[in-house]
C-alpha cells in the first residue's frame, strides 16, 4: 500500500487491523512482530485523512441540522395551516348550522302564515257561502210561492229554520 492510494479512513484502519492480525507472534512476551514501516505508513495515512473525514462529518452534521431545522419550520407551518383550516371548517360549520336553523325558522313561520291565511280564507268562503245560502233560500221560497200562486194554491208560511226540500 502506498501513500498515493486513494483510501478512506475506514479502509486505512482496516488495512492496519489486517497488518496487526497477520503479525507473527513473538516467542516471548506475548507481543507480535509487525512491519514497522508499513504500520507507520498506515497510521500516517489515517492521521492525514482524519481531518478531512472530520470536516466531512461536520459538513454532514450541518446538513442534517439544516434539514431538521427546515423540517421543523415546515412542520410548524403545517400545524399553523391545519389550525387555520380547522377554524375555517368550524366557522363554516357554524354558519351552516345558523343558516339551517334560520331556514327551519323561516319554514315554520311560512307554514304558520299559510295555515293562518288558509283559515282566514276558509272563514271568508264559509261566510260568503252562508250568505249565498240565505239568498238561495229566499230565492227558493220566492220560487215556491210563485209556483203555488200559479197553481192556485195558497202558500203556506215558511219556517226559516226548516230544511229546504
pTM over cut 0.95? no
Beta carbons within 8 Å of 144's beta carbon, 6+ residues apart: 155, 158
Q: What is the mean pLDDT of the chain?
A: 84
Question: Tell me: the pLDDT tens digits for 42-65?
Answer: 888 888 777 777 878 888 888 899
- CB atoms near residue 68 (< 10 Å): 10
Distance CA 30, CA 45 (A): 28
Q: What is the pLDDT of residue 35?
A: 83
| pLDDT over threshold 60, residue 132 | yes
Question: Tell me: the pLDDT tens digits for 142-161?
Answer: 999 888 888 885 556 666 66
Q: What 3-state DSSP class applies to 82?
A: helix
- CB atoms near residue 15 (< 10 Å): 19
| Average of per-residue pLDDT across 117-135 | 91
Domain positions in the chain are: 9-151
Amino acid at each position: 500500500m502506498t501513500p498515493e492510494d486513494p483510501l478512506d479512513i475506514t479502509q486505512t484502519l482496516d488495512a492496519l487491523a489486517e497488518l496487526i492480525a497477520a503479525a507473527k507472534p513473538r516467542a516471548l512476551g506475548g507481543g507480535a512482530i509487525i512491519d514497522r514501516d508499513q504500520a507507520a505508513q498506515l497510521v500516517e495515512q489515517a492521521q492525514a485523512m482524519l481531518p478531512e473525514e472530520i470536516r466531512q462529518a461536520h459538513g454532514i452534521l450541518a446538513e442534517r441540522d439544516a434539514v431538521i431545522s427546515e423540517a421543523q419550520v415546515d412542520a410548524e407551518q403545517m400545524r399553523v395551516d391545519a389550525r387555520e383550516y380547522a377554524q375555517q371548517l368550524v366557522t363554516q360549520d357554524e354558519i351552516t348550522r345558523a343558516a339551517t336553523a334560520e331556514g327551519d325558522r323561516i319554514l315554520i313561520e311560512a307554514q304558520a302564515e299559510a295555515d293562518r291565511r288558509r283559515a282566514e280564507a276558509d272563514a271568508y268562503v264559509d261566510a260568503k257561502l252562508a250568505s249565498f245560502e240565505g239568498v238561495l233560500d229566499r230565492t227558493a221560497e220566492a220560487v215556491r210561492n210563485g209556483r203555488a200562486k200559479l197553481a192556485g194554491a195558497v202558500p203556506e208560511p215558511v219556517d226559516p229554520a226548516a230544511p229546504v226540500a
